[in-house]
Chains A and B, each alone.
Chain A
Amino acid sequence: MSAQQPTTSEAYQAVQSSEEFQTLRKKFRGFVFPVTAFFLVWYFLYVLLSIFAQDFMNRFLFGKITIGLVFGFLQFLTTFAITFIYARWANRELDPLADAIGSRLDGVKEH
């Protein structure tokens, strides 16, 4: 690998404007931006409810388990679920695209 020439900035700019790269970028942002918005809204909803809607959060659902506790557990659940789904999705959808572009870049330099 050390024998390779450094990739030229023209090559990077060409890749950046290529359709494949735009697709990769769009896919990545199309997933992470909405999911980030979702978990931030969901988390702050929990925070706000637990300080401004205590009557609701402190209601017992069954035994000594309150709605607020269930809400808290749901935060764990969504965090775990997002982690699981994102990792599977990225392994399947992002990595092949990224690897293809990366190896093409190495090819570009050699011609």
Chain B
Amino acid sequence: MAALTSLAAATTVGNAKLNIAIFVIFVLVTLTVVVKVASGKKTAEQYYTAGGAFSGRQNGIAIAGDYLSAASFLGIAGAIALQGMDGFLYSIGFLVAWLVALLLVAELMRNTGRFTMADVLSYRLKQRPVRIATSVSVLCVSLFYLLAQMAGAGGLVSLLLGVSGETAQNLVIAVVGAVMVTYVLIGGMKGTTWVQIIKAVLLISAAAIMTVWVLGKYGFSLSGLFTDSVDVAKTSTNPKTAAGAENLLHYGTKYGVTTLAKIDFISLSMALVLGTAGLPHVLQRFYTVPTSKAARKSVEWAIWLIGGFYLLTLVIGFGAGALVGPDAINAAPGKQNSAAPLLAFELGGSWMLGIVSGIAFATILAVVAGLTITASATFAHDLYKEVFKRGQSTQEQEVRIARISAIAIGLVAIFGGMLAKSQNIAFLVALAFAVAASANLPTILYSLFWKRFNTRGALWSIYGGLIASIGLIIFSPVVSGKAADPKTGLSPSMVTNPDIDFHWFPLDNPGLVSIPLAFFLGWLGTVTSKEFDAEKYAEMEVRSLTGHGVAKALEH
């Protein structure tokens, strides 16, 4: 995804003025919508959850808009174009993960919580310590996800606006941050949701059009498309690509080479499939509908749309491989991330490129706005109101803190994005999933399904999962110690100096160790503590399964 920067190469094929126009039109249209829907008074309800007034279908589309980040669209299409089936493996993990949300998490969360993830986790446990722990982990996950999106925005928008160079990119990141904060301040959750809905419709439509276009060129034969992409790869001037052409249709080009790579892929798969239902900005979306039935409907819609979209990316990826070719993709500054935009240019010229780039930009904006709402809700509702003020604050104070937090988060995102813009975006996203699966999901499942679960279990699991996942990443080859590239003499790790090597954990992804560890610590902490609140447990369990009390909660 650092590849977004590579897109800059495409400026030579596209029309920068056209791209700017499309980008400005998108911002103006969405801002108008945000201002229009934002009427009425700003209660905490409105700001965090849009008063829970969205329908299941609307929320499902917004979830798809929230979840299909630029990493999904550009990253997966590019991975399929260059690595074939191994790229496809990724998207399946991202999809199957939604079944965890559908079956185990969405409805029960909707029924027991009001604004934030911590509402559910602290329901029958000791409020303050559990809220603090949950807030720390929510903020970590959101921050990693946010930085990934901001870093992508810098590269992508530089391309769109035809600007390059450090200062110009930083300026662009600042503009993205400012627009995003404006959405959140004016529109709250309601405005943000509409931006996500608009973006989801545009993204999925564009992907569908490109898919039909590509398939049309091959008489709607998937086999024909595959044959051609292999044939094109065979003609590559890079001997490695040419020799490996047949492997596009085979698993194992990337993950199957060594045993370590295989284990690493299992680790990644675990983080993907268990991380989604622990992503705070996804969970927050379930509070924007009134009932558990609507929450169920939301996930249903989300699964149709997200699954459908990943099927489209298979065709788009192979289409880019066949029609653009691996050499042209690799020559573009963003490498694999530019596959989808280059395919758009190949199919429909600079107009299509402008539209697809504009949509990719919209994608980043919508995801970032959702993350900002979630993180600011954690600051204002969990840390300020419940922990700092011990529940004794007015709505006005809470919303004011939420808005100040949104601005602060915007600033962090802007400066973090400037620092992180050379980082690998896919890595930051995978990190967010690994932390979510380790620090959040075990506690969510335990507190919803295990009667005996208590405060010590929650704290051990959250902090243990958090420290293990982040700690193992710091000492993994992702941060230091990958063999230097013979051409540049630089290591592909975060620390590019090949002489600095402090890694001892062999895998890129910590999930295989940190997720089971967090489950284990949750169990161990629980069985070594006698705490049990039968009254609160009864209340939580009855509410979680019947939805009793939800409507009432919405009124005060």
Q: Say whether A associates with B.
A: yes
Given contacts A4-B552, A36-B104, whether A87 and B538 have CB atoms under 8 Å apart is no
A57, closest chain B residue (CB): B251
A63 to chain B: closest CB distance in Å?
A: 3
Judged by a CB distance under 8 angstroms, whether B37 is at the interface is no
Interface string of A30-54 (1 = CB under 8 A from B): 0010011001100110111011101
Name the interface size band of chain A: 35 or more
Residue of A nearest to B307 (CB): A76
**In the assembled complex, which residues on chain B have CB atoms less than 8 Å from the CB atom of A39?**
96, 99
Distance to closest chain B CB from A43 (angstroms): 5
Q: A24-B546, A51-B265, A101-B546 are in contact. Are A2 and B552 (CB under 8 A)?
A: yes
Closest residue on chain B to residue A56 by CB atoms: B251
Residues of B within 8 A of A93 (CB): none
- What 0/1 readout, one digit per residue, does chain A (62-105) give for beta carbons within 8 Å of chain B? 11111011001001100110111011001100010011011001
Task: Determine if A105 and B269 form an interchain contact, defined as CB atoms under 8 angstroms apart.
Answer: no
Contact call A43/B96, Cβ cutoff below 8 A: yes
A102 contacts B555, C-beta separation under 8 Å: no
For this complex, 27 residue pairs linking A to B, each with C-beta atoms less than 8 Å apart, are A1-B552, A2-B556, A9-B535, A12-B535, A13-B534, A24-B546, A28-B545, A32-B103, A36-B100, A47-B266, A50-B252, A51-B255, A54-B252, A58-B249, A64-B222, A64-B227, A64-B249, A72-B88, A76-B311, A79-B303, A79-B307, A80-B303, A83-B102, A87-B296, A87-B300, A102-B547, A106-B548
At the interface, is chain B mostly helix, strand, loop or mixed? helix
Q: Which 5 A-B pairs have the closest CB atoms?
A: A63-B223, A64-B226, A9-B535, A50-B251, A58-B250
| Smallest Cβ-Cβ distance to A29: which chain B residue | B449
Instruction: Enumerate chain A interface residues (CB-CB to B < 8 A).
Output: 1-2, 4, 7, 9, 12-13, 15-16, 21, 24-25, 28-29, 32, 35-36, 39-40, 43-44, 46-48, 50-52, 54, 57-58, 62-66, 68-69, 72, 75-76, 79-80, 82-84, 86-87, 90-91, 95, 98-99, 101-102, 105-106
Q: Which residue of A lies closest to B274 (CB)?
A: A40
With beta carbons under 8 angstroms apart, the residue of A24, A36, A62 that contacts B103 is: A36
| Complex contacts, A99 vs chain B, CB 8 Å | 546
Interface residues of B in 499-556 (CB under 8 A from A): 534-536, 538-539, 541-543, 545-549, 551-552, 555-556
Decide if B216 is an interface residue (CB 8 Å cutoff). no
Contacts of B95 in A (CB 8 A): 75-76, 79
Indicate whether A50 sits within 8 Å of B96 (C-beta atoms), given known contacts A35-B103, A58-B250, A63-B223: no
List A contacts of B104 (CB < 8 A).
Answer: 32, 36
Give B301-330 interface residues, CB cut-off 8 Å to A: 303-304, 307, 310-311
Q: Does B297 contact A (CB under 8 A)?
A: yes
- Could you tell me the dominant secondary structure of chain A's interface residues? helix
Nearest CB on A from B511, distance (A): 12
The listed residue (B85, B96, B227, B265) touching A79 by CB distance below 8 A is: B96
Question: Which of B92, B249, B255, B297 touches A87 (beta carbons < 8 Å)?
Answer: B297
Give complex CA distance A81, B195 in Å.
30
**Chain B 263-296 near chain A by CB (<8 Å), digits 1 or 0:** 0011001000100000000000000000011001
- Residue among A16, A52, A80 with the most chain B CB within 10 A? A16
A98 to chain B, nearest CB (A): 4
Q: Which residue of B lies closest to A28 (CB)?
A: B545
5 more contacts with CB within 8 A, not counting A7-B548, A99-B546, are A7-B539, A51-B256, A90-B296, A95-B293, A101-B546
- Docked pose: A35 CA to B102 CA in angstroms: 11
How distant is the Cα of A52 from the Cα of B263 in the complex, in angstroms?
A: 10
Is A75 within 8 A of B96, CB to CB?
yes
Tell me the bound Cα distance from A68 to B539 in angstroms.
Answer: 47
